[in-house]
Chains A and B, each alone.
Chain A
Amino acid sequence: MKYYDLHTGSGNLKEILRLARELGWSGLGIIIPYDRDFSRNLETLRKEIKTLKPKLDIALGAEISGEKPGKIRRTAKDLRKKLELIVVSGGDLEANRRALETPETDILSHPYLDRNDPGLDHVMAKLAEKNRVAIEFSFNEILYAYKKRRSQILQNLLGAAKLVKKYKAPFTISSGARGPWDLRSPSELTALGRVLGLPNPEIKHSLSEGILQENRKRLGKKWVMPGVEVEP
């Protein structure tokens, strides 16, 4: 089976690609922040990937964060035409909800950031299921937290997992790596999913290229709208 880590950073890219291959990943989603220098950073990253000629399947994406909740939809729509992955950084309840209401969003990252609750409720979980927006369970957050903070994050993850399981919302488990040494192998992320009580077949699906396949179709010339494609 091919495993994909859909949320990693771009710091020290050469080492990230080498380690990811060694750990057994088939593909990576490299996400860069959507800020003022986004276009320039994207171009630089594309050039860097071209020169490195990785043996992994690379998907590029943007992380929308710090935007006013009202602007998330417009930004996601603009980016949809250019990129394979669109991630919205959660935390604020309004932002979480807007991200889940937007079908153009692929992943809602850490909806529980800086909160004492999962940042989701049953209404949002239903929205995630309806609009096929995946809730991200990121390993990186528990990796660098200790004691009370780690237990709080785990509690939030368990709460989110419960909702995801009940309402059959899509989810993804990622390493959320900022550097090469934050990467973890597919086997460890699967174990984390099981610890959170997520269903086994869905865990495997969440680590596959499911999200990317649909988005790559969208970027192709044949795609018109969901469910409609032009035959050549």
Chain B
Amino acid sequence: MKLKPLPSMKERKRYIVFRVLSDKPEYSLEFQAVRDAILNSVLNWLGEETSARAGVWVIKNLWDRKKQKGFIRCSRKETDLVKTALAMVHQIGDSRVIIQSLRVTGTIKKGK
């Protein structure tokens, strides 16, 4: 059974639409590598306590491998910290990368 919180107790969230620019555009990056890099960076930058509050979630089925574009769900209050953490990622595997946040939206539909 799925636990459902009261509507008034629901966490307010935001979706950060991001894309990955890489120095090796011929090799597209896998979701898992991108997710690990983002979560590591968030953990390093925010620490364990704040990253728990931020509730960062990289959404798997919205990862566009062709466009190297994806969605991150996080708490509304920690959006700026998460965006800074994204900017801290400079390498995935042996590729130099820039993770650029394109926009912040309240719904997935608006981000597409």
Given contacts A19-B98, A181-B90, A181-B98, A188 and B84 within 8 Å (CB-CB): yes
A132 to B50, CA, bound (A): 36
A194 to B80, CA, bound (A): 7
How many residues on the A side are at the interface (Cβ–Cβ under 8 A)? 21
Question: Digit string of B78-107 for contact with A (CB within 8 Å is 1, else 0)?
Answer: 011101101110100000111011000000
Interface of A is mostly: helix
Closest residue to B82 on the A side, CB-wise? Answer: A191
Q: Judge if A143 is at the interface, Cβ distance under 8 Å.
A: yes
Partner of B80, one of A181, A183, A185, A195: A195
Question: Digit string of A128-171 for contact with B (CB within 8 Å is 1, else 0)?
Answer: 00000000000100111011000000000000000000000000
A191 to B23, CA, bound (A): 24
How near does chain A come to B111, taking the closest CB pair, in angstroms? 14
Instruction: Kindly list chain B residues whose C-beta atoms are within 8 Å of the C-beta of A212.
Output: none
Task: Determine whether the beta carbon of B100 is less than 8 Å from that of A23.
Answer: yes
Task: Determine whether the beta carbon of A192 is less than 8 Å from that of B84.
Answer: yes
Partner of B100, one of A181, A185, A192: A185
Instruction: Kindly list chain A residues whose C-beta atoms are within 8 Å of the C-beta of B21.
Output: 19, 22-23
A22 to B25, CA, bound (A): 14
Partner of A187, one of B96, B97, B101: B101
Instruction: Kindly list chain A residues whose C-beta atoms are within 8 Å of the C-beta of B44.
Output: 146-147
Q: Judge if A7 is at the interface, Cβ distance under 8 Å.
A: no
Question: Digit string of B15-30 for contact with A (CB within 8 Å is 1, else 0)?
Answer: 0000001010000000
How near does chain B come to A219, taking the closest CB pair, in angstroms? 33
Near A by CB (< 8 A), chain B positions 68-85 give 79-81, 83-84
A144 to B87, CA, bound (A): 11
Partner of A195, one of B81, B97, B100: B81
A residues neighboring B (CB under 8 Å):
19, 22-23, 139, 142-144, 146-147, 181-185, 187-189, 191-192, 194-195
Cβ contacts A to B, 11 pairs, < 8 Å:
A23-B21, A139-B87, A142-B88, A144-B90, A181-B90, A181-B98, A184-B87, A185-B101, A189-B87, A191-B101, A195-B81
Given A19-B21, A185-B87, 16 further pairs, Cβ under 8 A: A22-B21, A23-B21, A142-B88, A143-B87, A143-B88, A183-B98, A185-B98, A185-B101, A187-B83, A188-B87, A188-B100, A188-B101, A191-B87, A195-B80, A195-B81, A195-B84
Q: Nearest 7 A-B pairs (CB), nearest first?
A: A188-B87, A191-B83, A181-B96, A191-B80, A194-B80, A185-B100, A184-B87
B residues neighboring A (CB under 8 Å):
21, 23, 44, 79-81, 83-84, 86-88, 90, 96-98, 100-101
